[in-house]
Amino acid sequence: MIEFSSTSSGKFLKDLIEGLRSYHVWIILGWYDIRQRYRRSTIGPFWITISLAITIAAMGVLYGKLLHQDLHAYIPYLTSGLVIWSMLSMMINDSITVFSNASGIIKQIRLPLSLHVLRMVSRNLIIFAHNLLVFIFVGVLFHVHIGWALLIFPFALILWVANALWVGLILGAICARFRDVGQIIMSAIQILFFITPVMWQVDALGNHAWILHLNPLAAYFEILRDPLLGQAPSLFSWFYALIETIMGWLFTIFFFSRYRARVAYWV
């Protein structure tokens, strides 16, 4: 049995481990959130999938022609990008209010704070699984060759979830304390959409492709998108993503070791 010290960092790690062990709770709550959001709806979360499919059909032809792209290669590329971006943007938006929305539970029931973030992540992973159906349909329609590279996808998704956890913890706490920060982050997401290779390909930058290294999301997009398109991500992208993950968790441990106990007062 793992024992934790009474220090602040030990309490945070205990909170995290207890949250992970309560997987049966946050998975059920995540599914319950989806059912509540789409209560009395016939097809439920598949409305998001249908909306995404319509967006891809419209943007695929339009931007493919504007950017002078081969539609057979561009539409699967765009589809994978929008499916991933949909998950990313929803997770960040939900992270902003992950603790403030659970204020009633946090104030009345003693549960690990990480459980609320895990609940949010599980909810968005379920929706992501629905949206993947769009990519599967497009992949079959345009004969996307998958190959062995698809075996990398689960590992990339695990790394994404690891980052979603620390981002949810940090943003949830900061935005609970400073409510205006949430508005700034939502504006920043709109800017990140255009400077992240979601609709456009990296090759379009030519000799200026190094600029992408300044975008912290670029490496995560590559490691998750390339396996879906039958390509192996570069080792540099894996290294870059791992370094960002480690730095993010080190900062999270430092931050929550000092402020974890105050979250209940902030919400």
Q: Between 45 and 246, whose confidence is greater?
A: 246
Average pLDDT over residues 137-145: 86
Average pLDDT over residues 107-112: 85
Q: What is the DSSP string of 107-176?
A: HHS---HHHHHHHHHHHHHHHHHHHHHHHHHHHHHTT---GGGGGGHHHHHHHHHHHHHHHHHHHHHHHH
Inter-CA distances, 111 with 25, 108, 203, 246, Å: 11, 9, 48, 26
What pLDDT sits at residue 10?
79
Percent of the chain clearing pLDDT 90 (strictly above):
31
Burial of 187 (0-12, 13-18, 19+ CB in 10 A): exposed
pLDDT per residue over 143-188, tens digit each? 888 888 889 999 999 999 999 999 999 999 999 989 889 899 988 8
Nearest alpha-carbon partner for 252 in 124, 155, 114: 114
For residue 241, name the pLDDT band (cuts at 50, 70, 90): very high
Nearest alpha-carbon partner for 51 in 96, 92, 90, 98: 90
pLDDT per residue over 195-218, tens digit each? 888 887 877 777 766 677 778 888
What pLDDT sits at residue 5?
53
What pLDDT sits at residue 1?
45
Average pLDDT over residues 34-38: 77
Q: Is the pLDDT of residue 67 over 50?
A: yes
CB 121, CB 206: distance < 8 Å: no
CB 121, CB 164: distance < 8 Å: yes
What pLDDT sits at residue 172?
93
Q: Is the pLDDT of residue 40 over 70?
A: no
What pLDDT sits at residue 45?
66
Nearest alpha-carbon partner for 130 in 32, 34, 49: 49
What pLDDT sits at residue 31?
86
For residue 173, the tally of other CB atoms under 10 A from its CB is 24
For residue 99, name the pLDDT band (cuts at 50, 70, 90): very high
Mean pLDDT, the chain, whole residue set: 85
